[in-house]
Amino acid sequence: MNQPTPSSPQRLPARKRARLINERLKPLYPEFEGLNYANRFQLLIAVILSAQCTDARVNRVTPALFARFPTPADIATCDIHELERLIQSTGYYKTKAKNIRAACNEIVHRFGGEVPGTLEELVTLPGVGRKTANVVLGLGFDTPRITVDTHVGRLSRRLGLTRHRNPLKVEQALAAIVPQEEWLHFSNRLIMHGRKVCSARKPRCEQCPLADLCPKIGVTNTATSRHKRKTTTTPRPPESE
């Protein structure tokens, strides 16, 4: 297999390669196609529901959910079984319902009915981890954040921008090489590219605008991989988003 030469774009410093990657993805994904929401409260609930579930599925569930429970106070005092029924199709609905109701109770009693606007406060809410908090801060508060989901982590390693698997370390590595004003946009573009082109098991390298910049770390020959899956493995369910 041909190895990249020292002059290859694949061997550029990570900061410069990240800039080129961002420039190429920018016209392809000018706007983030994701969750639908009308305010910070709806954004928070939608992000919690999106765990192990596609954004499309969440967007089908939330209109009825928010019509029935339009405020944190409404969910904080709701019947848990009704909440479970409304979000059941998003998966893990019992845990999500418990966390959502508890988080809304905290928002009402600790934060005056408003979604808090700092990472330190957000992660104290049930069901809210660093990734969820970063999404809410980035989209809801226009606070520069890097969001590391499975797509961002996978593509960052595949593109040779980091070797880390720990989401916090991936976030820190990207923050060091991507301009702060592009943090949220860069994350969103990697997410969209991971969904549309650079999938986990069948990356479409022949169609990828980043092919010459990508060292393809962890990518094996697709024909060989398909043959092995047919002869030695059973099909796995589709990757969750």
Break the chain down into helix, strand, coil percent, rounded to 5: 60, 0, 40
Region 130-145 average pLDDT: 95
pLDDT recorded at residue 221:
59
pTM of whole model > 0.75? yes
CB 90 within 8 Å of CB 58? yes
Tell me: pLDDT of 2 over 90. no
Distance CA 132, CA 49 (A): 10
Tokens 């929401």 appear where? 37
Tell me: pLDDT of 233 over 50. no
pLDDT recorded at residue 204:
94
Q: What does each C-alpha distance from 231 to 204, 218, 222, 225, 234 come to in angstroms? A: 22, 21, 14, 10, 8
Closest CA to 30 of 185, 211, 198, 199: 185
Region 167-183 average pLDDT: 96
Ordered domains of the chain (ranges, CATH):
10-31+146-228 (1.10.1670.10), 40-140 (1.10.340.30)
Closest CA to 8 of 211, 227, 239, 150: 211
pLDDT recorded at residue 228:
39
pLDDT recorded at residue 7:
53
pLDDT recorded at residue 30:
86
Say how far residue 176 (Cα) sits from the centre of its chain.
19
Distance CA 139, CA 214 (A): 28
Whether 149 sits among the annotated catalytic residues: the reply is: yes
- Cα dihedral 132, 134, 140, 142, rounded to 10, equals -170
Query: Of residues 26, 98, 149, 196, which has the active-site annotation?
Result: 149
Region 98-123 average pLDDT: 98
Q: What is the mean pLDDT of the chain?
A: 89
pLDDT bin (cut points 50, 70, 90) of residue 238 is very low
Query: Of residues 16, 74, 79, 131, which has the active-site annotation?
Result: 131
Cα end-to-end span (Å), the chain: 32
pLDDT bin (cut points 50, 70, 90) of residue 83 is very high
Least confident span in 8-12, 28-32, 134-138: 8-12
pLDDT tens per residue across span 197-232: 999 999 999 999 999 999 999 888 544 344 434 433
CB 66 within 8 Å of CB 58? no
Distance CA 210, CA 221 (A): 17
- Cα dihedral 179, 185, 186, 189, rounded to 10, equals -160
Tell me: pLDDT of 70 over 60. yes
pLDDT recorded at residue 12:
85
pLDDT tens per residue across span 24-66: 999 999 887 789 999 999 999 999 999 999 999 999 999 999 9
Distance CA 60, CA 30 (A): 23
Distance CA 130, CA 169 (A): 12
